[in-house]
A and B are shown apart, each in its own frame.
Chain A
Amino acid sequence: NAGVTQTPKFQVLKTGQSMTLQCAQDMNHEYMSWYRQDPGMGLRLIHYSVGAGITDQGEVPNGYNVSRSTTEDFPLRLLSAAPSQTSVYFCASSYGASGSDTQYFGPGTRLTVL
């Protein structure tokens, strides 16, 4: 099992550019989520999905879009990058959407927006 994989590991964008952060898991997990990590703020939830075709907003969704066409993949799209989106992005997955399900995290994508 590769677990949760994310690509790219690093990315530099210019303000206004768009891009997609990729996330995939091979554990047949139903629940997937995206977090951003900023210094001194822990991780904050951007979007989540409880299964293919179902997505919803988290705590900080503005400027991001998601879709979930398959169980395995959960890409995060930045529509028009802004310097405030400079952050480390983590994708996570868990077997189910219950609070008791442990979330397993990918290695992260470090994004810089100039």
Chain B
Amino acid sequence: AQKVTQAQTEISVVEKEDVTLDCVYETRDTTYYLFWYKQPPSGELVFLIRRNSFDEQNEISGRYSWNFQKSTSSFNFTITASQVVDSAVYFCALSEASFNKFYFGSGTKLNVKP
């Protein structure tokens, strides 16, 4: 069965600190997809990144970076030099290759204080 675990329920940092959000997943599939979504206080879900299981290259987009390690079944998300606008709930999700059903983690609430 598929499962996504975000063990960090809530994290608080001071602006400009770096912060890493952990995501650990379980699946028996060899092909699968991993996603991160951001849910700001306004409530909508914003797509951040998609990664397939065959691509273990780390990705960087501005202050955001993602570290995918199949050996540890982890897909961690790092925000460098955090800003108040980064305050949100972040969800990690896993999708089977054959079908677009998402398995979401329970989310990590990030509080960035000025």
- A residues whose Cβ falls under 8 Å from a Cβ of B: 31, 33, 35, 40-45, 48, 58, 88, 90, 92, 94, 96-108, 110
Contacts and interface: CB of A to CB of B under 8 A. Distances in A.
Interface in B10-46: 31-33, 35, 37, 43-45
Interface size band for B: 20 to 34
Contacts of B33: 99-100
A52 B77 CA distance: 36
Interface of B: 4, 9, 31-33, 35, 37, 43-45, 47, 50, 52, 91, 93, 95-102, 104-107
Given A107-B44, A108-B43, A108-B44, A102 B101 contact: no
Given A40-B106, A99-B96, 15 more contacts: A35-B102, A40-B9, A41-B106, A43-B91, A44-B104, A45-B101, A48-B101, A90-B45, A92-B45, A96-B100, A97-B100, A98-B99, A101-B100, A102-B35, A102-B47
B4 to A, nearest CB: 8
Contact of B32 (A99, A102, A107): A99
A105 B100 contact: no
Contact of A99 (B4, B44, B95, B104): B95
A100 B32 CA distance: 8
A58 B97 contact: no
A97 B106 CA distance: 23
Contact of A58 (B101, B104, B106, B107): B101
| In the complex, the 3 A-B pairs of residues with the closest C-beta atoms, listed nearest first | A42-B104, A105-B45, A99-B95
A51 to B, nearest CB: 12
B104 A43 contact: yes
A102 B102 contact: no
Given A102-B35, A108-B43, A94 B100 contact: yes
A104 B50 CA distance: 12
